[in-house]
Amino acid sequence: MSSKPETTFYTAVHRHLPPEKALHREKMCNPFRGGTWDFWFSGKVDLWIEYKFVILPKRDDTMVTFGLSDLQEDWGRQRRIEGRNLAVIVGSEKGGIVLLNEDWLAPISCNLFKERLMTKPQIAAWIVARTGGSL
């Protein structure tokens, strides 16, 4: 059975993270409560991440939406109000982008998405830096 593109993407990013002893990460899965984001990272600072995967449109001026459900948007908004560190990481075949400060609520142009692209090792390094760790 093949993996979903989102799973394949975050697995490739996590391959570049330090061992779990150096940076704890935990996949969140709660069948009784919807909306909880995908991963919790615990370093010197906690970080919650929701991963998404998109197929980029051919036209640069086409808007790219990120596909968070209403429950995920609400969960993220409530955690942000609490002062939690959050990011939505949106993967594509060409790499991914990191969205902060509820930037995941508004679509962006395909061109802007491409301008902000990071490689999987760069995204992993961003996660490590954001949690206060080192590679």
On average, the pLDDT of the chain sits at 94
- Largest Cα separation within the chain, whole Å, is 43
Contact call for residues 47 and 80 (beta carbons, < 8 A): no
DSSP 105: G
pLDDT per residue over 47-81, tens digit each? 999 999 999 999 999 999 999 999 999 999 999 99
**pLDDT band at residue 29 under the 50/70/90 scheme:** confident
Interval 104-129 mean pLDDT: 97
Tell me if 132 sits within 8 A of 43, measured CB to CB: yes
Query: What per-residue confidence (pLDDT) applies to 40?
Result: 97
- φ/ψ of residue 105, rounded to 5: -80, -25
22: pLDDT strictly greater than 60: yes
Structural domains of the chain sorted by starting position, each given as residue range(s) with its CATH number in brackets: 5-130 (3.40.1350.10)
Record the pTM: 0.93
d(CA 12, CA 26): 16
Q: What percent of the chain has pLDDT over 70?
A: 97
Q: How far is CA 85 from the centre of its chain?
A: 12
| Torsion angle of C-alpha atoms 70, 53, 4, 57, degrees rounded to 10 | 110
* pLDDT over 80 at 38, yes or no: yes
Residue range 19-48: mean pLDDT, rounded: 91
